[in-house]
Amino acid sequence: MSDVAERVKKIVVEHLGVDADKVVESANFIDDLGADSLDTVELVMAFEEEFGVEIPDDQAETIVTVGDAVKFLEKASADK
Amino acid sequence: MFDLTGRSALVTGASGGLGGAIARALHAQGAVVALSGTRREALEALAAELGDRVHVTPCDLSDPAAVERLVPAAEAALGALDVLVNNAGVTRDNLFMRMKDAEWDTVLAINLTAAFRLSRAALKGMMKRRFGRIINITSIVGVTGNPGQGNYAAAKAGMIGMSKALAAEVASRGITVNCIAPGFIASPMTDALSDKQREQILASVPMGRLGSGADIGAAAAWLASPEAAYVTGQTLHVNGGMAMI
């Protein structure tokens, strides 16, 4: 697992209070991890802080699974 | 009770009588306050009166770009923003049939849209800290209506609906959103009334007097305090019994 994926996983576990083994790439924040829509906004804020990037609203809407977040943040970190 | 030590607050319209009174009340309870308004001299004068724990952050709320800058500026000055008081407001009274689009637009922009934008900006920090108080100063007119104030009544009623929707969204994060609806409050505007006009107004107020800024400030201090943590989505009417809702 990449460094980005590890950091994403840690944030998701902390914020949603879910078991780490449930935080897999295909896990949907809302359907699989029990997040509500406000939780997803908070996750995006936490990702922004952790990775020092800005995630515009239209991009944030496309991040619905753990894998989406990892992919976006790997790219954003590489572009920095 | 109602101790605000260690809390920071931004009050818009603080160069006016009501906003100044609200800022004084929050400050008296121990809060650090940022004073916003269009008239810098009036803000500086109030800041000088309050002494320490005060910052001046002028803003013209009719300018959307300036509105977007206000919360970041206040957060920079205060360190964090715990309490946002959307108090600034303007009137452009006219009979409905004569009301110009510009009169409508100005009142909606400053009284309602600016409150929306400032609240949206303030929420980010409040969500992170799991604490926030948004206090919107509406008006009795937003609930009862008033001839000649179609625009103002719409904006103030809009504020109440907006507050309820937002209150429901963020309650789980320790953020409360409430309105205060003043009735007739003594101000330079009411000072200019004739004795006869004043009598007519007072006849409709069971308490038999106009409200003071301090009456509204006290309500704001309570809503901002830890003691009001379980109160959200409400409109607190402070009107001497003029309308009992």
The annotation status of B136 as a binding-site residue, yes or no, is no
- pLDDT tens-digit map of B80-118: 999 999 999 999 999 999 999 999 999 999 999 999 999
Residue B245 is assigned to a structural domain of this protein = no
Residue B34 is assigned to a structural domain of this protein = yes
The C-alpha atoms of residue B134 and residue B187 are separated, in whole angstroms, by 24
Q: How many domains does chain B have?
A: 1
Residue B3 is assigned to a structural domain of this protein = no
Residue B1 is assigned to a structural domain of this protein = no
Nearest-CA distance from A75 to chain B in Å? 25
B68, B121 Cβ separation under 8 angstroms: yes
A15, A43 Cβ separation under 8 angstroms: yes
Is pLDDT of B187 > 90?
no
Neighbour count for residue B204 (Cβ, 10 Å) = 13
The annotation status of B214 as a binding-site residue, yes or no, is no
What's the rounded mean pLDDT across residues B173-196? 90
The annotation status of B228 as a binding-site residue, yes or no, is no
Cα separation values, B194 from B191, B199, B200, Å: 8, 9, 10
CB contact under 8 A, A38 and B172: yes
Is pLDDT of A1 > 70?
no
Q: State residue B33 phi and psi, 5-degree precision.
A: -120, 145
State CA A2 to chain mean position distance: 14
Neighbour count for residue B245 (Cβ, 10 Å) = 9
Pairing of strands B83-86, B54-56: unpaired
Is pLDDT of A79 > 90?
no
Residue B46 is assigned to a structural domain of this protein = yes
Residue among B124, B169, B170 minimizing CB distance to A45 = B124
The C-alpha atoms of residue A17 and residue A80 are separated, in whole angstroms, by 30
What's the rounded mean pLDDT across residues B44-63? 97
Provide the residue type at B11 as one letter: V
CATH code, B15: 3.40.50.720
Q: Which helix (H) or strand (E) holds B55?
A: strand B54-56
What's the rounded mean pLDDT across residues B209-216? 96
Optimal mutation site among B120, B123, B126, B127, interface A, most CBs of chain A within 10 A? B127
B138, B159 Cβ separation under 8 angstroms: yes
The annotation status of B38 as a binding-site residue, yes or no, is yes
Which residue in chain A has the smallest CA separation from B130?
A: A42
CB contact under 8 A, A38 and B124: no
Range of the domain at B51: 8-238
Q: Which helix (H) or strand (E) holds A53?
A: none
B210, B190 Cβ separation under 8 angstroms: yes
Q: Which residues in chain B touch residue A45, judged by CB atoms under 8 angstroms apart? A: 124, 127-128
Catalytic residues of A: 36
Active-site choice (B152, B224, B228, B242): B152
Residue B2 is assigned to a structural domain of this protein = no
Give the per-residue pLDDT at B108: 98
Fold of A2-79: 1.10.1200
- pLDDT tens-digit map of B14-33: 999 999 999 999 999 999 99
Helix axes B114-129, A37-51, angle to 10 degrees: 70
The C-alpha atoms of residue A36 and residue A48 are separated, in whole angstroms, by 19
Residue B244 is assigned to a structural domain of this protein = no
Is pLDDT of A70 > 90?
yes
What's the rounded mean pLDDT across residues B230-238? 98
Cα separation values, B109 from A20, B56, B117, B182, Å: 47, 23, 10, 20
Is pLDDT of B190 > 90?
no
Q: Is B83 helix (H, G, I), strand (E, B) or coil?
A: strand
CB contact under 8 A, A41 and B127: yes
The C-alpha atoms of residue A44 and residue A60 are separated, in whole angstroms, by 7
The C-alpha atoms of residue A45 and residue A41 are separated, in whole angstroms, by 6
Nearest-CA distance from A38 to chain B in Å? 8
Ranking A8-12, B89-93, B196-200 by mean pLDDT, the lowest is B196-200
Nearest to B11 by CA among B221, B169, B171, B215: B221
- pLDDT tens-digit map of B29-41: 999 999 999 999 9
Q: How many CB pairs under 8 A join A and B?
A: 11
Return mean pLDDT, chain B: 96
Optimal mutation site among B128, B129, B175, interface A, most CBs of chain A within 10 A? B128
Nearest-CA distance from B126 to chain A in Å? 11
Residue B192 is assigned to a structural domain of this protein = yes
